[in-house]
Amino acid sequence: MLFHGYGGSKSDLLDEAAVLHAAGWTTVMVDFPGSGESPGNTTSLGWAEADIVAALANAHQGDGRVVLFGKSMGSAAVLRAVGVLGAAADALVLENPYDRLLTTVGHRFEAMGLPAQPGAALLVFWGGVELGFNGFEMNPVDFAANIDTPTLLLNGEDDPRAHLAEVESIRASLAGPSELVVFPSAGHVGLYSADAALWRSSVTRFLDRVSPNVLESVVTMQHPVGTM
C-alpha cells in the first residue's frame, strides 16, 4: 500500500507501484482527503491521514503480506498508524519522513529566509486548533519507539525538509530491525526520480529478505474517505 506526500496524489506513486508490481506485488494506492480525486480541501500532515492508513492495512489482513510505503507526509502517517493506532504490517518502507511536525514546519520558514521560531510554533498551534488535533503531538520519532516491524528508511542526503540527522533519529527510535539508504545529493523529492536504480535495488532487496512476496495482481478499490 502506497501513500503520497503533502500536496501530492496517488499518481505520484505510479513509478514505485510499477516496480513493486513487476516484482509480483499487489499494489494499492490512495488519494488522501483533499488530494487528487478525493473530496475535501484540508490536510493534517499525517495525523488524520494515519486513520486511513490503519483502516486499509487492517482491512487487508489475511490477503497476504502487507507492506506500507509512504512518501514524506505519507511516511509520517504510516508511523502514526503503526506506532499509535496499532495498524498491522509485515514491513515498512519510509521515504523522507519528518521527525516532528514542529521541526518540519520550521524548516519551511528557514527555506523562506525566516527564523523558524516563533512562527512555526504559532502555525502548528493554530493549524491544530483549526483541524482539531494537537500538532505538538505529531511526532513520528516518538511513534517509532512502539514499532518493531522491519523498516527501510530512504532519505535524500541534502533534504532541506527532512534532515538526514532527523531521519537517523527515527531509525534510532525504532524498536525493530531497520536500514537506512541515503540518496547522494538528493533533496526533498521523490527518490525514485532521483535515482531509480538505487530505489529499485534497495526496496526490492529489502522486501525479498524481510517479507517475501506471495501476491501476483493489481488491486483497485473505492474508499469512502479517499479514492484508489
Measured CA to CA, the distance from residue 170 to residue 141 in angstroms comes to 5
Is 15 part of any domain?
yes
* 129 in a structural domain: no
Nearest to 193 by CA among 95, 91, 108: 95
Average pLDDT over residues 29-48: 86
Q: CB–CB of 56/32 below 8 Å?
A: no
User: Is 133 part of any domain?
Assistant: no
Confidence at residue 213, expressed as pLDDT on a 0 to 100 scale: 57
Query: What is the per-residue pLDDT across 160-211, written as a single tens digit (0 to 9) for each?
Result: 999 999 999 999 999 999 999 999 999 999 999 999 999 999 999 999 998 7
Could you tell me if residue 122 is inside a domain?
A: no
Sign of CA dihedral 39, 101, 82, 200: positive
pLDDT above 80: residue 43: yes
Instruction: Indicate whether 131 pLDDT > 90.
Output: no
How far apart CA 125 and CA 143 sit, in angstroms, is: 20
Judge whether 114 lies within some domain.
Answer: no
Over residues 7-14, mean pLDDT: 92
Mean pLDDT of the chain: 89
Residue 215 forms part of a structural domain? yes
**pLDDT value of position 216:** 40
Domain CATH code at residue 26? 3.40.50.1820
The residue segments making up the domain with residue 40 are: 2-100+138-227
What band does 130 get if pLDDT is binned at 50, 70 and 90? confident
Residue 198 has what pLDDT?
A: 97
What are the residue ranges of helices labelled H in 174-226? Answer: 191-194, 196-210
Give the pLDDT confidence score for residue 227 in this predicted structure.
46
Predicted confidence (pLDDT) at residue 10 exceeds the cutoff of 90 = yes
Whether residue 70 is contained in a domain is answered as yes
Digit-coded pLDDT (tens) for 68-122: 999 999 999 999 999 999 999 999 999 999 999 999 999 889 989 998 899 999 9
How many separate domains does the chain show?
Answer: 1
Query: 35 lies in a domain?
Result: yes
Residues of the chain with pLDDT > 90, as a percent, come to 73
- Band of residue 12 on the pLDDT scale cut at 50, 70, 90: very high
How far is the C-alpha of 113 from the C-alpha of 109, rounded, in Å? 7
